[in-house]
Amino acid sequence: MIKILLTNDDGIDAEGLRVVADWASKLGHVTVCAPKVQQSGKSHAINIYTPFEIKKVDYEGVDEAYSVDSSPADCVRFGTIGLGRQYDLVFSGINKGLNMGEDVMYSGTAGAIFETCTRGMKGIALSTHVGSFDTARLWLDRIYQFIIENKMFDCCDILNVNIPETVKGFRITTQGGPFYTDSFAEVEKDMWKQTGYCVHNNHHDLTVDSDATIDGYITITPLTIERCNRTAYQTLCDRIGQER
């Protein structure tokens, strides 16, 4: 049986985490390292200056579980560095709310699997619509089977999966552009709050994660942690006569 690490960004008491834990326990040995409280939008942030609480907790159906009072990335770091372990697969989610397009940069759900990649492991981020986890629960077996049968981890270490409310099938997609943006409002003196609103314009391009998910497909987007612009790198090396 495989060794699985499970985390999320909605917190250790979140329903989506429970859904994955119940399902993943049949695949292998499951360790949960999840945030103590909501950590959405924390991206790949880690806490390097102050101590934070990590407490072993009861979590039915898994081998062991820890509540981590920090970001999803720190949950993965504790599960690996702190516990001195490697895992065959890391699941992050299921997030309550889709993580598509540029929102992947901000997502704590995605941040956890970016950290997974730096630790030399395979990872899957799972997100679904805000209405319920019913569809995601029904499709987890088929999602996992689709990934394994198509040997996706031979091509990529980390995958971002979005599950719509009604499913027509699967699409391999690229990462799209803006889906949400924000406005700032002053709620009291010197106190401001960001409020998000959707700016997505659906062109029904089924090669793009946001369009394909909204149009009813489970989208699987291969991700990478590399930030180097390879096209620019090649162009600049050629321009200055540097070998590449």
In a domain, 230, yes or no: yes
**This prediction's pTM:** 0.94
Confidence of residue 147 (pLDDT cuts 50, 70, 90): very high
Q: What is the C-alpha to C-alpha distance for residues 33 and 80, in angstroms, rounded to an integer?
A: 10
Instruction: Return the pLDDT at 34.
Output: 98
> Mind listing the pLDDT tens digit for each residue in 183-238?
899 999 999 998 888 888 899 999 999 999 999 999 999 999 999 999 999 999 99
**Residue 124 above 90 pLDDT?**
yes
Using the structure block, give the residue that is written with the tokens 């699997």.
113
> Mind listing the pLDDT tens digit for each residue in 49-91?
999 999 999 999 999 999 999 999 999 999 999 999 999 999 9
Count of CB atoms within 10 A of residue 83's CB? Answer: 14
Instruction: Return the pLDDT at 33.
Output: 98
Tokens of residue 234, six digits: 């090649």
In a domain, 232, yes or no: yes
The CATH number of whichever domain residue 128 belongs to comes to 3.40.1210.10
In a domain, 104, yes or no: yes
Query: For residues 95, 100, 106 and 110, what is the CA-based torsion angle, rounded to 10 degrees?
Result: 50
**Residue 135 above 90 pLDDT?**
yes
In a domain, 182, yes or no: no
Output the DSSP codes for 19-61: HHHHHHTTTEEEEEEEESS--TT-TT----SS---EEEE--TT
In a domain, 185, yes or no: no
Task: Print the domain residue range for 166.
Answer: 2-175+203-240
Which one is predicted more confidently, 49 or 244?
49
- For 45-80, give one letter per residue: b (16+ CB within 10 A) or e: eeeeeeeeebeeeebeebeebbbbebbbbbbbbbbb
Adjacent-strand bridge partners of 220 = 161, 172
Q: What is the C-alpha to C-alpha distance for residues 154 and 226, in angstroms, rounded to an integer?
A: 18
| Cα end-to-end distance, the chain, whole Å | 43
Instruction: Return the pLDDT at 61.
Output: 95
Q: What is the C-alpha to C-alpha distance for residues 74 and 82, in angstroms, rounded to an integer?
A: 10
Q: What is the C-alpha to C-alpha distance for residues 182 and 33, in angstroms, rounded to an integer?
A: 30
> Mind listing the pLDDT tens digit for each residue in 15-49?
999 999 999 999 999 999 999 999 999 999 999 99
Identify the weakest region by mean pLDDT among 9-13, 70-74, 144-148, 186-190: 186-190
Q: What is the C-alpha to C-alpha distance for residues 89 and 64, in angstroms, rounded to an integer?
A: 16
Instruction: Return the pLDDT at 178.
Output: 84
The average pLDDT across 97-103 equals 95
**Residue 1 above 90 pLDDT?**
no
Instruction: Return the pLDDT at 90.
Output: 98
Q: What is the C-alpha to C-alpha distance for residues 10 and 2, in angstroms, rounded to an integer?
A: 25
Instruction: Return the pLDDT at 195.
Output: 87
In a domain, 186, yes or no: no
In a domain, 66, yes or no: yes
**Number of domains observed in the structure of the chain:** 1
Adjacent-strand bridge partners of 66 = 33, 56
In a domain, 191, yes or no: no
Nearest residue to 221 via CA among 213, 231, 230, 233: 213
